[in-house]
Amino acid sequence: MNKVAHIEPLAEPIQAEVTVPGSKSLTNRALIVATLANGTTTLLGASDANDSLILVRLLRKLGVDIQTEGSTITVKGNGGKFKPYNGELDAEDAGTVMRFLSALCCIVSGEITLKGSQRMHERPIYGLVDALSAFGAQITYSGKEGFPPIKIRGGSFKGGTVHVDTSLSSQFVSALLMVAPILSSDTEIICEGAQVSIPYIEMTIAVMKEFGVHVEQKKIGHYFIKSGQEYKAREYKIEGDASSASYFLALAAIFGSTVKVTNLNPGSLQSDAKFADILENMGCAVSRDKSISVTGTPRLKAVEVDMSGMPDTAQTLSVVAAFAKGETLITGLSTLKHKETDRLKALRMELSKLHINSKADDSSIRITGGNPRGAYINTYDDHRMAMAFAIVGARTGVSIDSPDVVKKSFPGYWNVLKSMGINVVLE
């Protein structure tokens, strides 16, 4: 029988300070770049998310010397010179791991089968595989054409000019960018199709720059990387995870409380740090110094917002919109159906349980705010469904199915809620 988390409503508004784990997105990019660097890199404040733990485990299987101690990770980079490897690598349900290793394994001699969970095998990867193949990689599909698992015969990977379909995921471009500097030819990446999650590509480029590699952006979606550049090992501090912070800022918004996230930098590389701007437009008071704090309002206003640059907080905004007066329209969500679950479909189902009306198409959702009621929420094996709908409990009380799914990105989530004075009972 599945576990359940029961969240009981608060009796009165709270004032709280929270510290969130390091950014999963930055940690996973830094792990790849540190592996390809010459020398030893120390990552401080790294994420303890399961996705990052999976990446560490698989890089070790590829022969990378990685030591972990708390939130500090030490990586002895190999400059892109891997020992041959033959065998399977299981990315489980970690999307960044699947995409980033698809590119990285192309420079590893041997034959590698890269697989994942059942849901991962339903998430298309053909845009990245086509681009890697154009660079000379030898990749075949082990199951359904266009989807993992994939078999990679590494070693013959040279770079060049490639057109990439980025309509499904920006991670395809990030994967190519990070391996490009060590390839034997200059690399030019030209994005085609819808430009989704552009800030995540900009994050990748920023991390590469911190490690000494320059990416020339000719225009949005057109990148040039000179070959022969070297990543330089260094000490690198990981920012607090902005996606994780969004849940606590949203809780402040819906319950008239004040919550400060102590390690969220207003000038963050992460686009999700702009979630506070949306709450401000909804009527909340926002303070920005070296951290971000939000004070909620009993009169939340509906908004219209394009979240194509920050899709991971769409679920968080959806539950805030459930309490806002009017119709909130969230657009730019075309990638949500390819995430851990079809998130737009899941949102509609669970909002209806709260007695909140919503309408969705392939790339947007319209939510009519009202007076949500408590409910039993299904999570669909999606960590963000669990965390977003849990904050509703501060107002109405909710029960969350399969609460352990939060380990994917935020293993300590329930403990942080408890530290804020919210009664969470795990059964």
Q: Catalytic residue numbers?
A: 312
Residue 192 neighbours by CB distance under 10 Å = 12
Give the C-alpha distances (Å, rounded to integers) separating 33 from 26, 145, 174, 232, 394: 10, 30, 11, 9, 40
CA dist list (Å): 160 to 134, 177, 214 = 8, 12, 17
Q: Which of 154, 151, 150, 148 is nearest to 135 (CA)?
A: 154
What are φ and ψ of residue 35, in 5° steps? -60, -40
Question: Quick check: bond before 149 cis, omega within 30?
Answer: yes
User: With contact defined as beta carbons under 8 Å apart, do 268 and 20 qualify?
Assistant: no
Residue 78, strand partner residues: 38
SS3 245: helix
CA dihedral 76, 79, 84, 89 (to 10 degrees): 60
DSSP line for 368-396: E-------EE--TT-HHHHHHHHTTHHHH
Q: CA 286, 291, 295: angle at the middle one, nearest 5?
A: 25
What SS3 class is residue 316? Answer: helix
Task: Let me know: does 131 contact 176? Beta carbons within 8 Å.
Answer: yes
